[in-house]
Structure 1
């Protein structure tokens, strides 16, 4: 059986192969707890895969590579795992061999059939997996960048007063980003007081405290003052136990108290609206 005969067989049995591979994907999807993809989506994937396989060998390689790339991007966007796709491609290969083997007239022809399928189908499958891996890495990279942008936001809450809420574990890479965002934000927002809120930080160890002290010192060098807020009792106990010196950093146990202190440091305060109205009325009579 020649290469051309393999392609002709696939073409003649196209619908049967699509039906079978749709069934394989659907079953694997159920086992993979993939509920977001319905059978019609799986069928579309199978039809596109079949179109790639049946691309004429004379077709421009660049065109084929483009179709494989687009196919890989689609399955990444659908959330199909690499394990699922690899298993599905292998199962398709096995099913195609069994189907074609039924028409073989000898063991020698059957062995040749294995090599023909291996030579024509496996390179396509390998390239799909390769493009899938590349597309997935790009997606993860973009997601990582987006998370990094949100990992240390600096939020202006009042004129010259900004807050940096921190949530989650602080490692060396994140600490570096915190420092960069702090210094950039202080200049950008013309901050006089910066509050670092560690309410959402689960653990404050020596390394985290060291990074916070460094950030506070860096803020001071660019002309602003730094407050550390959100210190819970267990965090305070840890800081004392570890012998961490935060004497050079103003600390408050809540963000609310920190904002009140920041306003006082910028010669302002929060007063009830009624008190402000009464004060204004008294001034108008004098």
Structure 2
């Protein structure tokens, strides 16, 4: 950038920033009314510092990354950055032209090109930082969602539940299989309840994946019970000719849990009845 233009930008930075803030204030009224005025102005001033850090020769890579991450955390779109820099470009060009005109100086015909030389790298770096941070956040969210999409929950000793919600595709079916086998071994589960209450559609592919998962569980020495089979799902399974006879099925999680208790030689007992039985035994012993 031309040294004179650089000096003018730095010398009159306060005036340029204030003019730009007014432009951005109008931009808020048009596009960001949901954002509080104080937060918007505070972020804009931080934005201005980021812009001028570049012209001052500061190390800007970390500054760009931190600011773009802040914008993402605020939930603001990439357009906030690009619109802000475009506005800064226009304000700077207009200010320098106005200043040179008022001083009867010869207006530099290359002002726009000189300003572009300053602003364009900032746009590139901030956009790259924003998209990089965004992709990283999306990647972390995808991993978190995958972990939550097929959880294996240990209910009591030897019994675990895997509640499935939403559509099951090939990628998710693979994750279900991995989590299921890993969880059965980790929790030393004898019975696994696969709850499909929240699965909207059970077609041939979904049924095939469930059968594969149940068979894999059987091969490592545990029992699989499929629960949450609604009437419409049962009808679909019958119409498609899908054979689920290799493992137990129940209409609800409650019924499946009772079956799991039986398989592990346990049952639910009424505490009051148990107390009465124990009392009778004690009484009979006392009489003897």
Change (3 A) 1:17 1:273: farther
Q: TM-score, normalised by structure 2?
A: 0.88
Aligned residues: 281
Q: Distance in 1 between the 2:242 and 2:117 partners?
A: 65
**Superposition pairs for residues 241-260 of structure 1, below 5 Å?**
241-260=239-258
Match of 1:124 in 2: 122
CA RMSD of aligned residues (A): 2.4
Unpaired runs of at least 5, structure 2: none
Distance 1:73 1:253, change over 3 A: same
Deviation (angstroms), 1:24 = 4.7
Query: In the TM superposition, what whole-angstrom CA distance separates every residue of 1:205-245 from its partner, at most 9, and x where no partner exists?
Result: 11111111111011111110001111111211221222221
How many angstroms does 1:104 deviate by? Answer: 4.7
Indicate yes or no: 2:47 matched with 1:49: yes
1:159-178 deviations in Å (ceiling 9; x for gaps): 10000111111111111111
1:79 has 2:75 as partner = yes
Change in Cα spacing, 1:113 to 1:213, as seen in structure 2 (3 Å) is same
Q: Within 5 Å, which residues of 2 pair with 1:232-243?
A: 232-243=230-241
Partner of 1:11: 10
SS at match of 1:170: coil
Conserved in 2, the CA contact under 8 Å of 1:22 and 1:42? no
Aligned pair partner of 2:176 in 175, 178, 202: 178
Q: Is the 8 A contact 2:192 2:223 kept in 1?
A: yes
Return 238-247 or 179-188, whichever deviates more. Answer: 238-247
Residue number in structure 1 paired with 2:201: 203
Moved more, 39-48 or 169-178: 39-48
What TM-score does the superposition give when structure 1 sets the normalisation length? 0.89
Question: How far, CA to CA, are the matches of 1:277 and 1:21 in structure 2?
Answer: 80
1:214 aligns with 2:212: yes
Q: What runs of 5+ residues in structure 1 fail to find an aligned partner?
A: none
- Rg larger in 1 or in 2? 2
Post-superposition offset of 1:186: 0.6
Question: Are the counterparts in 2 of residues 21 and 46 from structure 1 also a CA contact under 8 Å?
Answer: no
Please report how far the alpha carbon of residue 21 of structure 1 lies from its aligned counterpart in structure 2 after TM superposition: 4.1
CA contact (8 A) 1:68 1:128 kept: yes
> In the alignment, what sits opposite 1:187?
185
C-alpha separation in 1, matches of 2:277 and 2:28: 69
